[in-house]
Amino acid sequence: DGGITQSPKYLFRKEGQNVTLSCEQNLNHDAMYWYRQDPGQGLRLIYYSQIVNDFQKGDIAEGYSVSREKKESFPLTVTSAQKNPTAFYLCASSSKHPEAFFGQGTRLTVV
């Protein structure tokens, strides 16, 4: 089945550590996105990529990094520079059709 897969579903990070969240899609979509969701704040765009080997900062990119070496994959690294990383992270992909498909999310908790 075609879809977008995020892993892991739950992730715990110690302070000062970097962690990487995985996002894979087999929908042949060119564009991929990372959003952060906090209660009462909706979704905020972290990074997005419209084509392989290219990506742009979103509204809250500080403390995060991404890569887009393959069309199918858009991993997000939460670095130790991100001071408040506990949140629900959502990955999405889209084609030219006006619809973005979302993964099931990764809940990151700092312990």
Partner 1 sequence: GEDVEQSLFLSVREGDSSVINCTYTDSSSTYLYWYKQEPGAGLQLLTYIFSNMDMKQDQRLTVLLNKKDKHLSLRIADTQTGDSAIYFCAEDFTGGGNKLTFGTGTQLKVEL
Is there binding between residue 1 and partner 1 (CB under 8 A)? no
Among 17, 20, 26, 95, binds partner 1 (CB under 8 A): 95
Is there binding between residue 98 and partner 1 (CB under 8 A)? yes
Positions 59 through 88 that interact with partner 1 (CB under 8 A): none
Among 26, 50, 53, 109, binds partner 1 (CB under 8 A): 50
Q: How far is CA 48 from the centre of its chain?
A: 8
Residue 16 or 39 having the CB closest to partner 1: 39
Is there binding between residue 33 and partner 1 (CB under 8 A)? yes
- Exposure string (b/e) for 46-83, b if CB count within 10 Å is 16 or more? bbbbeeeeebeebeebeebbbebeebbebbbebeeebe
Number of residues that bind partner 1 (CB under 8 A): 28
Q: Compute the distance between CA of residue 83 and CA of residue 70 in angstroms, rounded to an integer.
A: 29
Q: Hey, what's the torsion of the CAs at 54, 1, 76, 53, to 10 degrees?
A: -10
Give me the residues that bind partner 1 (CB under 8 A), please. Answer: 6, 31, 33, 35, 40-45, 48, 50, 58, 90, 92, 94-105, 107
